[in-house]
Chain A
């Protein structure tokens, strides 16, 4: 049985069709990169996947279970990290365990030992164990984004989503963050969907690619199938785009 099933997913905002009859299936542990020009519906798809919005038609299933609202077993990494900058990396990572702690315990940082170990392991996975006690606000953009990944990992998700996780980073930090995300997913056999704007990064880290344009899937395939022509087709209407110009 596929780990994730997306079935005839359609989302309309008034007259705007943000997502148009999208269907695909993901196996356990697949690392998928979402490509597509601005306004193609990447964010909309990710928001539907983690239940932040509800579909107009169709549905998303984790195993047999339909996604109907926010849930703790889907981890999300945001473009602007959204860490609490006054808290340490460790306590930020621990917020991933909030759904397992009651209010008073979480305020007093009285998490279970399990969760504390999980938080440190997640920080270790993203290479930040030694920086665990550093204030998040004083970390570099790349480190912050890695703490964001750690927080998502502490949720112990069965699906990891990332919406342009490296869009605000310089090329080197972007590569590093993607590397950690990839290895975290591999270690935990975590099904992952990340939208990316940098085609070179996508090529380096992706295993499977889903290309969206105007809300519809225009490509779904592996690295070998993602030729320059295919990239052009995803980002430009046929013939309109400058042939083989560097898109990233």
Chain B
């Protein structure tokens, strides 16, 4: 709204301003603000209503009706009850062989560590919860390791500061295309090569990593400071030396941090790849739900929670420790040695505030 200058000269009232409540200048300013605010408020209400209506219409289009949900609710609730009594029958081969059920199967397996190792090593004799969990973590891990070098290459070459303008889009475009295809589709693309197998899952996670991690690398490189790059290149270093010492050295810890973050995500992706049959704990849960054995599926879901939380905790702790100290610069060796200090893994984050 334009400034309304038609009233009295503002300077005239300023000297005694604040004595009288209101006054014509104040009144008209308040009017203008109030009017603008009521328009804004009305628009907000209309906007919220429109979004709500559209969401309702969309849900109807998708076939949502309260009646059908209401009808199925008792069945759903009774299946949830089964989740309250998880059955660890398939926790290890040992538990299955001994005919153990419920929590007892879990406890007996844990009391018998060789049963755990056994289930991992003899994975072709049956998909157990422990074997599936290990496979899932390994899919996430190997996929990340596989994807990392290509992510680094594409990420660095995608930066405008390394590859001149139009050409860096070759690499950025490749990464965008990879990202446009979800890992769940990548695993299908690799079917002719390896079928739907844990190997396919590993390749899918690796491909996905190139797109996601590479993008994070490129973004991170946009943030580096120019000063050090200029300083390094002024020493007569070659351009690839300038990239390594001037740019990558500035971002090495954040690259490691991003990689750990992607590892977390990859383990979660590995779970979902199992659901389409590519091995691991996801496949176990899918299989049990298919047989309508909710108690046994629940045991697998508890395992998934345990895996994901553990990986997240480990990775966020690691990342916290990667942050450079105030004074000394720590080598990667110091960081790894520091990890042995178990007490610091828990309850230390409060200090950061």
Residues in A lying within 8 Å of B, measured CB to CB = 90, 109, 114, 116-117, 120-122, 124-125, 127, 129-130, 132-133, 187-188
Contact = CB atoms under 8 A, between A and B. Distances in A.
B25 A133 contact: no
A210 B34 CA distance: 44
Interface stretch (B10-18, B155-163, B193-201): B10-18
Given A130-B10, A133-B36, A120 B29 contact: yes
A130 B14 CA distance: 13
Nearest to B37: A109
A188 B33 contact: no
Contacts of B1: 133
Given A109-B37, A130-B10, A117 B30 contact: yes
A132 B18 contact: no
A152 to B, nearest CB: 14
B52 interface: no
Contact of A90 (B13, B22, B25, B33): B33
A220 to B, nearest CB: 30
Residue with the highest number of chain A CB atoms closer than 10 Å, among B19, B33, B36, B37: B33
Interface in B107-124: none
Interface string B290-312: 00000000000000000000000
Contact of A133 (B10, B19, B33): B33
A116 B18 contact: no
Given A117-B22, A120-B29, A125 B17 contact: yes
A114 B30 CA distance: 11
Q: Which 6 A-B pairs have the closest CB atoms?
A: A124-B17, A120-B26, A187-B18, A121-B18, A120-B29, A130-B3
Given A121-B17, A124-B14, A187-B18, A129 B30 contact: no
Given A122-B18, A130-B10, A187-B19, 5 more contacts: A117-B30, A124-B26, A133-B36, A187-B17, A187-B18
A125 B21 CA distance: 13
A114 to B, nearest CB: 8
Contacts of A124: 13-14, 17-18, 25-26
A120 B30 contact: yes
B25 A129 contact: yes
Interface in B26-81: 26, 29-30, 32-34, 36-37
A25 B274 CA distance: 77
A129 B10 contact: yes
Contacts of B34: 116
Interface of B: 1, 3, 10, 13-14, 17-19, 21-22, 25-26, 29-30, 32-34, 36-37
A51 B26 CA distance: 33
B14 A127 contact: yes
Contacts of B26: 117, 120-121, 124, 129
Nearest to B22: A117
A227 B179 CA distance: 72
Residue with the highest number of chain A CB atoms closer than 10 Å, among B18, B22, B25, B37: B18
A125 B29 CA distance: 14
A138 B34 CA distance: 22
A129 B33 CA distance: 11
Contacts of A129: 10, 25-26, 29
A125 B25 CA distance: 12
A23 B313 CA distance: 55
Nearest to A113: B30
Contacts of B32: 133
Nearest to B3: A130
A197 B14 CA distance: 29
Contacts of A130: 3, 10
A211 to B, nearest CB: 32
A156 to B, nearest CB: 11
Nearest to B36: A133
Contacts of B10: 129-130
B3 A125 contact: no
A10 B167 CA distance: 68
Nearest to A187: B18
A125 B26 CA distance: 11
Contacts of A120: 26, 29-30, 33
Contacts of B17: 121, 124-125, 187
Contacts of A132: 29, 33
A133 B26 CA distance: 13
B224 to A, nearest CB: 27
A187 B34 CA distance: 27
B29 to A, nearest CB: 5
A129 B7 CA distance: 13
A188 B10 CA distance: 19
A168 B242 CA distance: 38
Contacts of B13: 124
A109 B30 CA distance: 13
Contacts of B3: 130
Nearest to A121: B18
B2 to A, nearest CB: 11
Contacts of B33: 90, 116, 120, 132-133
Residue with the highest number of chain A CB atoms closer than 10 Å, among B10, B13, B26, B34: B26
A130 B25 CA distance: 10
